[in-house]
Structure 1
Amino acid sequence: MTVHAVRLNHAVLFVADLERSEAFYRQAFGMTVVAREPRANAAFLRLPRSGNHHDLGLFGVGDQPPRPRGSIGLYHLAWQVDTIEELEEARQTLVGLGAYGGESSHGATKSIYAHDPDGNEFEVMWMLPRDSWGEFADAAPVERLDLPGEVRRWAGVRTAAELVPLDADPEP
């Protein structure tokens, strides 16, 4: 028997400076603080279009040496946007915040990479319509992203609603 999860609901990060991290995620994603837990020096944030109680938890733990890149543990979080135009806007926002780290095409997804003030890497990605995955349905290449070309090709196409197909009932 397996766990019948439909998606990752939220992420929680340890951060050095809670207020600094709150400010970053508010600026980068427009998140709002929906709850605080002072005893744990924690804040819980929600994305503007989310139906979740919270999408991100932040626990302030004070200055610590960063975990070396490539060591065991979380590599990055991926935040999905609904349109390729929103990915383009995300790139501009992250460049403006000095957080932009790169971009790539993974075939079925197009991605921008960035980092928060503590060096936690994250991805902002847009997914092609499922019926357009083609050869990428079972592949995840790392290729150069031609974002202007992708915007021309996919402008106005919304895909976030395809996250959980209606016929995705778990097997008994």
Structure 2
Amino acid sequence: MSIPAVRLNHAVLFVADLQRSIDFYTSVFDMQVAATEPRADAAFLRLTKGDNHHDLGLFGIGAGERKRPGIGLYHLAWQVDTIEQLEEARLALADHDAYTGESSHGATKSVYGKDPDGNEFEVMWMLPREHWGRFEHEAPVERLDLGAEVASWSGVRTAGRVVTEAVAR
């Protein structure tokens, strides 16, 4: 069984100074802060010309007593097209002894894994934009009830545009 990812959805970085990184990415890449999560010293940035919930996540490593890995890549997020595929991804990761957890981020539902070298990645499904509601500017880290999400969103395709046919060249 393999995971039918449709695109790389976002990257997440550990940064030394969260506000400095926010200032950099919002000015250099014309991004906007889509959400913050103070409990995790995190910010989620969206490209102003994009339609994604967030394109870049930033996690500060200097807050409190928390110990984090060094500055750099935290994880990549692969997006699947349906919530059922997210459920299948969880099974595929478990089958490969690569499953490490899951969570709900409001607008996105996620399962996590690690490759054989220990690199973390996320497989996620995003609610259609019209259903983001309060999560337009929030990105909580909450318990995921994947069974309930499948029951609620069965058959609903991802919020991101998915190319289903090869482009003729």
- The residue correspondences of 1:125-140 to structure 2 (distance < 5 A) are 125-140=124-139
- The residue correspondences of 1:35-54 to structure 2 (distance < 5 A) are none
Quick one: which amino acid aligns to residue 128 of structure 2?
Answer: P
Counterpart residue number, 1:86 = 85
> Sequence identity, in percent?
65
How far did 1:69 drift? 5.2
User: Any unmatched runs of 5+ in structure 1?
Assistant: 1-26, 31-46, 53-67, 164-172
* Greater Rg by CA: 1
Task: Provide the TM-score with structure 1 as the length reference.
Answer: 0.55
User: Any unmatched runs of 5+ in structure 2?
Assistant: 9-66, 163-169
Counterpart residue number, 1:36 = none
SS at match of 1:137: helix
Q: Is the 8 A contact 1:28 1:97 kept in 2?
A: no
State the aligned residue count.
104
How far did 1:70 drift? 2.1
Q: Report 1 or 2 for greater relative contact order, CA contacts < 8 Å, sequence distance ≥ 6.
A: 2
Backbone CA RMSD of aligned residues: 2.4
- The residue correspondences of 1:147-162 to structure 2 (distance < 5 A) are 147-162=146-161
Q: Is the 8 A contact 2:112 2:123 kept in 1?
A: yes
How far did 1:161 drift? 4.1
How far apart in 1 are the matches of 2:107 and 2:72?
Answer: 25
Quick one: which amino acid aligns to residue 96 of structure 2?
Answer: L
SS at match of 2:137: coil
Do residues 106 (structure 1) and 105 (structure 2) align?
yes
How far apart in 2 are the matches of 1:99 and 1:111?
Answer: 14
